[in-house]
Amino acid sequence: MPRPLIIHTWEWVPEGPRGFVRDVRLRWAAQEAGLPYEVQTVPFEDRGPAHLERQPFGQVPFLTDGEITLFESGACLLHLARKSEVLLPRDPVGEAQALQWFFAALNSMEMVSVPWWFLEVTGAKENGLTGWLDSRLAHLEAVLAKREWLAAGRFTVADLIMADVLRVPKVRAHGRYPALEAYVARVTARPAFVKARDDQVAGFAAADGGRG
Amino acid sequence: MPRPLIIHTWEWVPEGPRGFVRDVRLRWAAQEAGLPYEVQTVPFEDRGPAHLERQPFGQVPFLTDGEITLFESGACLLHLARKSEVLLPRDPVGEAQALQWFFAALNSMEMVSVPWWFLEVTGAKENGLTGWLDSRLAHLEAVLAKREWLAAGRFTVADLIMADVLRVPKVRAHGRYPALEAYVARVTARPAFVKARDDQVAGFAAADGGRG
C-alpha cells in the first residue's frame, strides 16, 4: 500500500484567511482524485530555518509524496494532477488545453488579482491595478460566456485552480461578470471542494483551543 | 522529419519592451534544447477575434507544435522542457526540484515583480507592493547565496524562467542583492539566451521599416 501524501499547512491562522489558505487546493485535488492524504502542520508565527528549508519564501503549502518533496501550490497541483485523469486529460491535445488554462489561472489571473487584493486590504489610497484586473476579468468572462469548463469539455485541474483564484470575495464583488459568477458557483459546488474547505476551516478552528 | 515548432509573437513593438517580450522565453528554451523553430507574427495593434481565439487575454506568445497549440509562456515552456533533459531532469526528485522552482519564478516572484513594475511605470505615487517585493527578493537572495543553480545542481528551465523574471532592469536596480545579481549575469550569459534575445530585438527592428 502506498504511503499517503502529506499536505503541510499552518497549525493555525486568524479567522480571515480560513477556507482560503492554499493547502485547500491540494486537499481538493486529492479529494477529486481519490488520493489518500494526511495533513501535518507547522507553526504560523515561527517561520525559522526548518520551515525555510521546505518552503524558501516562508509560505505554505508544501507536499511530501514518498521521496518527492514540493513547494508552490502550482507545482504540487501539477504533481497530483499527473496521478489522475480526473484532473488532467491523458490525450496530448486535452492535456495541453488543461495546462494552458492552469497557467493562465496562476500567471494571468492570480498575478493580477492577488496584488490587486493586497493593495485593497492594505488600504492603498488608489489601487493602480484596478484597470488591469478589469481587463483580465472581462477577457475571461468572454470565454466563460461560451462554455462551461475551461479545457477539454469537462472539469480539470484548470477549473480547480481558476475557481480558487476567482472565489476570493473581494475579487468576486469587484464587477458584474455573470458567466464568471456562475462558473465559480458551479466549480465550488463540487463535493471535493466543499470537503476540502470545510476540513481546513475545522482544523484551524480546533487549534483555537490552545490559544485561549 | 518533425515539423518545426512555431513561436508566435508580435510583428512589432516599441523600443522599450524589445528584448523582453515573452516569446524570448520560448526561443531561449528551444535554443537550449536544440529544437528547430520558426517565428510567426501577429499585429501588435489589432488584437481581434483571430488573436483572441489563440490567446484569450490578447497577449503573446503562443506556440504551435503540430496538433498541439498552447498559450501562456509557462505552459509553453513546460511543454518544451518535457522534450529535453537539458531543460528538465528526468529523475523524479530532480524533476520535482525543477518544477517547484519553475512555479516559484512565475507565481511567487513574477506575481509580485510584474505588478510592482507596472505600478512603477504607470507613475503610482506610492508603490504599495515594494515591501512585498523586498521580502521575496531577500528570501531568494538567501537561497542563491548558497548555490549556483536553483534545482538539481545544474541549469534547468527553472533558472531560465527565474533569470528572465529577475533581469528586468527596474527590478534589478531595486536593491542590493549580490548573489541574485551574479545569478542573473551567470544565466543570461548563456549563448542560447543571447541568441534568443538578439533575434527578438533584430526582428522588431526590422519591422520598423514598414512604419516610416
Per-domain residue ranges of chain B: 5-85+192-211, 92-190
In order of A64, A87, B75, the CA distances from A81 in angstroms are: 15, 5, 15
Predicted confidence at residue B212, as pLDDT, reads 54
Contacts of B92 in chain A (CB under 8 A): 67-68
Structural element, H or E, at residue A143: helix A130-144
Query: Residue A111: which of B93, B115, B136 has the nearest Cβ?
Result: B115
**Contact with chain B for residue A8, Cβ under 8 A:** no
The CATH-assigned architecture of domain B92-190 is Up-down Bundle (1.20)
- Which DSSP state fits A2? P
Which grid coordinates belong to B3?
515539423
Contacts of A139 in chain B (CB under 8 A): 52, 56-58
Unique residue bearing C-alpha cell 520551515: A51
Which grid coordinates belong to A5?
501524501
CB spacing of A111 vs B114 below 8 angstroms: yes
In order of A36, B23, B78, the CA distances from B6 in angstroms are: 41, 11, 15
CA nearest to A120 within chain B: B128
CA nearest to A74 within chain B: B103
CA angle B142, A105, B193 (to 5 degrees): 55
Which grid coordinates belong to A65?
509524496
Q: In this structure, are residues B58 and A139 in contact, taking their beta carbons and an 8 Å threshold?
A: yes
CA nearest to A135 within chain B: B57
What's CA A161's distance to the chain center, in Å?
5
Predicted confidence at residue B169, as pLDDT, reads 87
Which grid coordinates belong to A83?
496521478
Q: In this structure, are residues A128 and B118 in contact, taking their beta carbons and an 8 Å threshold?
A: yes
Nearest-CA distance A194 → chain B (Å): 25
Beta bridge partners of B69: B64
Contacts of A73 in chain B (CB under 8 A): 103, 107
Starting at the earlier edge strand, list the strands of the sheet with B62-65: B37-42, B5-10, B62-65, B68-71
- CA dist., res. A85 & res. A91, Å (int): 10
Q: How many CB atoms lie within 10 A of CB A181?
A: 15
A38 φ, ψ (degrees, to nearest 5)? -120, 160
**Contact with chain B for residue A89, Cβ under 8 A:** no
Predicted confidence at residue B141, as pLDDT, reads 96
- Which DSSP state fits B47? -
Sequence length of chain B is 212
Instruction: Tell me which residues of chain B have a pLDDT lower than 70.
Output: 1, 212
| Cis, bond preceding B61 (omega within 30 deg of 0) | yes
- CA dist., res. B12 & res. B10, Å (int): 5
Structural element, H or E, at residue B61: none
Q: In this structure, are residues A111 and B108 in contact, taking their beta carbons and an 8 Å threshold?
A: no
Predicted confidence at residue B185, as pLDDT, reads 96
List b or e across A48-65, with b for residues whose CB sees 16 or more CB atoms inside 10 angstroms. eeebeeebbbebbbbbbb
**Contact with chain B for residue A138, Cβ under 8 A:** no
Beta bridge partners of A42: A10
What's CA B17's distance to the chain center, in Å?
13
- CA dist., res. A149 & res. A152, Å (int): 8
> Nearest CA to B159 among B196, B182, B187?
B187
Predicted confidence at residue A180, as pLDDT, reads 96
Instruction: Tell me which residues of chain A have a pLDDT lower than 70.
Output: 1, 212
Q: How many CA atoms lie within 13 A of A79 on its CB side?
A: 30
For chain B, the C-alpha Rg in angstroms (whole number) is: 17
Q: What is the dihedral of CA A154, A156, A159, A164, to 10 degrees?
A: 140
Contacts of B88 in chain A (CB under 8 A): none
Starting at the earlier edge strand, list the strands of the sheet with A37-42: A37-42, A5-10, A62-65, A68-71
Contacts of A111 in chain B (CB under 8 A): 106-107, 110-111, 114-115
Predicted confidence at residue A49, as pLDDT, reads 92
CB spacing of A107 vs B74 below 8 angstroms: yes
Beta bridge partners of B40: B8
Query: Residue A124: which of B58, B78, B128 has the nearest Cβ?
Result: B128
Q: How many CB atoms lie within 10 A of CB A148?
A: 14
Percentage above 70 pLDDT, chain B: 99
3-class state of residue A146 by DSSP: coil
Structural element, H or E, at residue B210: none
Nearest-CA distance B134 → chain A (Å): 12
CATH class, A5-85+192-211 region? alpha beta
- CA dist., res. B149 & res. B158, Å (int): 9
Query: Residue A93: which of B68, B107, B116 has the nearest Cβ?
Result: B68
Helices then strands, counting H and E runs in chain A, come out as 10, 4
**Contact with chain A for residue B70, Cβ under 8 A:** yes
Sequence length of chain A is 212
Predicted confidence at residue B132, as pLDDT, reads 95
